[in-house]
Amino acid sequence: MKTFIFIQTQFEAIHRWSNAPDEVSFLRNPHRHVFHVRMRFNSTYDREIEFILMKRNLLDYVTKAFHLKDLGEMSCEKICECLKIAYPTSCYISVSEDGENGAELIDVAIS
């Protein structure tokens, strides 16, 4: 059995996909999303990681890095990669657009 803690937050930003297929050509234009972030960390004992403090840290990071910014061509996958660099001990990262569709990064080496 394994124990994890998770934190989640959200931020508002704009992005676009210049090479979107014709069927979804509207994605080529800048458009707004509320990006939802959920991250998981291994926790080997009770309250090893204080999740309120970790969430505050994450909120500070996403506010400075992404909130209310034009992210250009940055996708959910790329946001996951940025978060993994900032939080290398995370074993799971999920970023979705408006809480619906998105990407997940699972670090199998530490999960």
pLDDT at 62 over 80: yes
pTM of the model: 0.94
Instruction: Report pLDDT for 22.
Output: 98
pLDDT, tens only, 19-34: 999 999 999 999 999 9
Angle between helices 76-86 and 51-65 (to 10 degrees): 120
DSSP state, 47?
T
Instruction: Report pLDDT for 10.
Output: 97
Confidence of residue 17 (pLDDT cuts 50, 70, 90): very high
Looking at residues 95-103, what average pLDDT do you find? 98
> If we measure between CA atoms, which residue out of 101, 5, 107 comes closest to residue 47?
5
Q: Which amino acid is at 96?
A: S
- Tell how many helices (H) and how many strands (E) occur in the chain: 2, 4
Assigned superfamily of 4-106: 6-pyruvoyl tetrahydropterin synthase/QueD (3.30.479.10)
Which has the minimum average pLDDT: 23-27, 56-60, 86-90, 106-110? Answer: 106-110
Size (the chain), residues: 111
CA 8 to chain centroid, in Å, comes to: 9
Q: Percentage of residues in the chain with pLDDT exceeding 70?
A: 100
Q: Give the residue extent of every domain in the chain.
A: 4-106
pLDDT at 46 over 90: no
The HSE-up count of residue 15 (CA atoms within 13 Å, CB side) is 22
Rg of the chain's alpha carbons, rounded to an integer?
15
